[in-house]
Amino acid sequence: MYLIIATAAAFALLVWVGRQSRLGKIKPGPWIRQKRALIAVGAVAVAMAGVICVARGQYILASILVSIAFAMAGGARYRSEPRPAGAWTQAEIEAYRTLGLEVGADRRAIVKAWKQRMKAAHPDQGGSDALAAKLNAARDTLLKRR
């Protein structure tokens, strides 16, 4: 039982630290990069607790623990490494310039600027195909990041 509590506390700590680092409140260090390994070790520990519960005859608790272990292991395997909040690629900076926005604008501002620019740039309204394609590419680049 203590193993379950310790694993849950470690998992909660990792989630909190990850969120704080994404918000920029904590400088990401090497311990952030080791998060996947720590989650995998925690998943193994939870799975072992599930096996112990099966041995004791606590099948419902065992099924819950094994499900949690599989979810943790799957999340640790397929989760991509987060980029720092201020790390913009050159393509993203150029896309912000194309839409006439400041770097780091939110999704609503991106869509609003794209709609305003597309009204004048649309080929049906007398605009050019190249400009419309450039605006669409800029919008797609910025919305893909979100």
CATH number for 112: 1.10.287.110
How does DSSP classify residue 81? P
In a domain, residue 85? The reply is: no
- Among 25, 54, 78, residue at a domain's last position: 78
Are the CB atoms for 72 and 39 separated by under 8 Å? yes
Q: Judge whether residue 39 has pLDDT over 70.
A: yes
**Start-end of H helices in the chain:** 2-22, 30-33, 35-56, 59-78, 90-99, 107-121, 129-145
What's the CA gap between 44 and 68, in Å, rounded? Answer: 10
How many structural domains does the chain have?
Answer: 2
Q: Would you state the pLDDT for residue 135?
A: 92
In a domain, residue 83? The reply is: no
What's the CA gap between 53 and 61, in Å, rounded? Answer: 7
- Based on the domain organization, do 16 and 62 belong to the same domain? yes
- Based on the domain organization, do 23 and 47 belong to the same domain? yes
Q: Would you state the pLDDT for residue 33?
A: 61
Range of the domain at 127: 90-145
Which tens digits make up the pLDDT trace of 4-33? Answer: 777 777 777 777 777 776 676 766 566 556
Q: Would you state the pLDDT for residue 50?
A: 87
- Based on the domain organization, do 30 and 74 belong to the same domain? yes
Which tens digits make up the pLDDT trace of 76-124? Answer: 555 555 555 567 788 888 999 999 998 888 889 999 999 999 998 888 8
0.75 surpassed by pTM:
no
Distances in Å between the alpha carbon of 28 and those of 16, 25, 34, 42, 82? 13, 9, 11, 21, 10
Q: Judge whether residue 140 has pLDDT over 80.
A: yes
Q: Phi and psi of 54, rounded to 5°?
A: -65, -40
The whole-number average pLDDT for the span 32-40 is 69
Distances in Å between the alpha carbon of 88 and those of 19, 56, 128? 19, 53, 28
Q: Would you state the pLDDT for residue 114?
A: 93
Which tens digits make up the pLDDT trace of 45-82? Answer: 888 888 888 898 988 988 888 888 878 777 655 555 55
What's the CA gap between 27 and 17, in Å, rounded? Answer: 10
- Based on the domain organization, do 104 and 39 belong to the same domain? no
- Based on the domain organization, do 13 and 67 belong to the same domain? yes
